[in-house]
């Protein structure tokens, strides 16, 4: 079979966004990008699209009737989203995709964009793009653009915004750079600003031998790393910054997925972990910290991020949670305890220095982790950012890899 020409898929509901979709389609073609119009409207009739809703709806496991249901719009939108996600997974000619939508269209299109491989250009112009986009972007490389006005007609505001989106996709497709094979095993790292020194020292020591992929531990960072572990693209993990677990258990704004460490267990990859930034829970600006936490030890990381010091009770809970997850890991595991402090601000005189809270964490891990020849806790008398701690991380990683 000859290679298929990569094409841009222009996606939306033609019954409500037809004019805008055709505007984007024309701009892409004018830029020299082959493009198709895809109609995901649950109530579209004849939108003149290259791929109509009936063809997409037929991909639903319960058939098209489950999607094109006039009686329940919410259920139909959910069903079309599932059908479109399955549809794109069977296509081999998608060189890039751009979607236009309000809340309904965004919910239909975003899961399909997330299903595309990393590196395939993905643009989503959405009226919900100025809010919390995590449910839509997830652990993918979607570029979301807020259209300022609603997507209803071509006017003095929508025309340049939609043109920017179309030309952005065109540029991504026309000048796409394929990954350069490194010949090195990919290793995932987790890092926060307060553990940067530790991770920087470890990656500097290993970069000559490994492809070092560093993930910002903002909740979605851990999910992104573990998704790549599950896919087989990351073959080992140095998880020094497990702070997302603090937000998960204490109600912060950057929580781990409840499946955190699940990919490590499933794939049995070599794993070196630690307690980086478990001294803190993330919230927004100081004025947005929940009232129930206003009497806690708070630290303004910047104008938009406030950190809350974890208590001994919370640290005990975290140690037990991590211990249970580590016990499910049968691959080679080393979990290092930095007894001198777990973050850049957990130091003598620092705003989060609290030996009692750290001790509660370490004691809970000692009690919880079932140690075996393959699964070991390693106690070190160093601060997490000390060079001696980084050297120990490297030594243990080399030992299990």
- pLDDT, one tens digit per residue, over 197-232 is 999 999 999 999 999 999 999 999 999 999 999 999
Q: What's the CA gap between 267 and 263, in Å, rounded? A: 6
Query: SS3 for 81?
Result: helix
Backbone angles phi, psi at 377, to 5 degrees: -90, 135
Give pLDDT, residue 178.
76
The pLDDT value recorded for residue 1 is 36
For residues 135, 141, 147, 150, the Cα torsion angle rounded to the nearest 10 degrees is -40
H helices of 207-243, in order, are 220-231
Reference 269, options 316, 232, 306, 294; nearest CA is 232
**Angle formed at CA 223 by CA 233 and CA 86, multiple of 5 degrees:** 75
Per-residue tens of pLDDT for the chain, all 401 residues: 345 789 999 999 998 999 999 999 999 999 999 999 999 998 766 668 999 999 999 999 999 888 886 677 888 899 999 999 999 999 999 999 999 999 999 999 999 999 999 999 999 999 999 888 989 998 899 999 999 999 989 999 999 999 999 999 999 999 988 777 778 999 999 999 999 999 999 999 999 999 999 999 999 999 999 999 999 999 999 999 999 999 999 999 999 999 999 999 999 999 999 999 999 999 999 999 999 999 999 999 988 999 999 999 999 999 999 999 999 999 999 999 999 999 999 999 999 999 999 999 999 999 999 999 999 999 999 999 999 999 999 999 999 98
How far apart (Å, rounded) are the C-alpha atoms in residues 378 and 365? 11
Structure tokens at 149: 């006005």
Query: What pLDDT does 47 receive?
Result: 65
**DSSP secondary-structure letter at 40?**
-
Distance from C-alpha of 47 to C-alpha of 363, rounded to nearest angstrom? 64
| CATH no., domain 7-174 | 3.40.50.12020
Any idea which fold 185-400 has?
Answer: Rossmann fold (3.40.50)
pLDDT value for 45: 66
The C-alpha atoms of residue 73 and residue 78 are separated, in whole angstroms, by 9
* DSSP per-residue codes, 244-303: HHHHHHHT-SSPPPTTTTHHHHHHT--EEEE-TTTTEEEESSGGGS-GGGTTS-EEEEET
Beta bridge partners of 213: 188
- Sequence spans of domains, the chain: 7-174, 185-400
- Identify the pLDDT of residue 19: 94
Collapse the DSSP code of 68 into the 3-class scheme (helix H, G, I; strand E, B; otherwise coil) and give the result. coil
Note the pLDDT tens digit of each residue in 82-103: 999 999 999 999 999 999 999 9
Task: Name the pairing type of β-strands 210-216 and 271-274.
Answer: unpaired
Task: Give dist(CA 369, CA 392) in Å, integer.
Answer: 20
Which two three-digit tokens encode residue 165?
């989106």
Sheet with 236-239, side-by-side order of all strands: 210-216, 185-191, 236-239, 271-274, 333-338, 375-380
Closest by alpha carbon to 241, among 278, 282, 281, 276? 276
Alpha carbons 190 and 271: distance in angstroms, whole number: 12
Same fold, 7-174 and 185-400: yes
SS3 156: coil
């Amino acid at each position: 079979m000859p290679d298929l020409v990569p094409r841009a898929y222009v996606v939306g509901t033609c019954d409500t966004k037809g004019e805008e979709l055709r505007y984007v389609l024309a701009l892409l073609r004018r830029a020299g990008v082959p493009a198709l119009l895809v109609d995901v409207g649950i109530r579209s009739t004849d939108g003149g699209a290259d791929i109509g809703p009936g063809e997409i709806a037929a991909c639903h496991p319960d058939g098209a009737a489950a999607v094109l249901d006039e009686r329940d719009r919410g259920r139909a939108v959910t069903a079309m989203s599932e059908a479109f996600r399955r549809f794109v997974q069977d296509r081999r000619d998608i060189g890039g995709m751009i979607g236009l939508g309000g809340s309904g269209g965004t919910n239909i299109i975003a899961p399909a964009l997330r299903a595309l491989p990393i590196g395939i250009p993905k643009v989503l112009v959405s009226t919900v793009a100025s809010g919390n986009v995590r449910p839509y972007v997830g652990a993918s490389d979607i570029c979301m653009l807020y259209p300022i006005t609603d997507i209803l007609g071509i006017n003095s505001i929508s025309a340049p915004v939609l043109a920017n989106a179309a030309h952005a996709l065109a540029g991504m497709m026309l000048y796409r750079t394929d990954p350069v094979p490194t010949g090195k095993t990919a290793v995932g790292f987790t890092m926060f600003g307060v553990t940067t020194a530790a991770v920087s020292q470890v990656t500097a020591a290993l970069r000559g031998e490994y492809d070092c992929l560093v993930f910002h531990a903002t909740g979605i960072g851990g999910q992104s790393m573990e998704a790549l572990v599950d896919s087989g693209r990351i073959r080992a993990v140095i998880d020094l910054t497990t702070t997302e677990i603090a937000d998960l258990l204490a109600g912060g704004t950057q929580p781990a997925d409840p499946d955190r460490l699940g990919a490590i267990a499933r794939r049995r990859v070599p794993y070196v972990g630690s307690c980086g930034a478990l001294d803190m829970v993330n919230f927004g600006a100081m004025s947005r910290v929940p009232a129930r936490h206003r009497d806690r030890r708070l630290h303004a990381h910047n104008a938009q991020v406030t950190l809350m010091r974890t208590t001994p009770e919370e640290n005990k809970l975290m140690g037990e949670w991590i211990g249970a997850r580590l016990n499910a890991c049968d691959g080679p595991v080393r979990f290092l305890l930095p007894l001198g402090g777990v973050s850049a601000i957990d130091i003598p005189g620092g705003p989060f220095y609290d030996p009692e809270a750290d001790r509660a964490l370490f004691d809970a891990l000692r009690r919880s982790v079932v140690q075996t020849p393959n699964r070991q806790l390693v106690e070190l008398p160093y601060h997490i950012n000390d060079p001696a701690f980084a050297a120990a991380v490297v030594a243990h990683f080399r030992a299990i890899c």
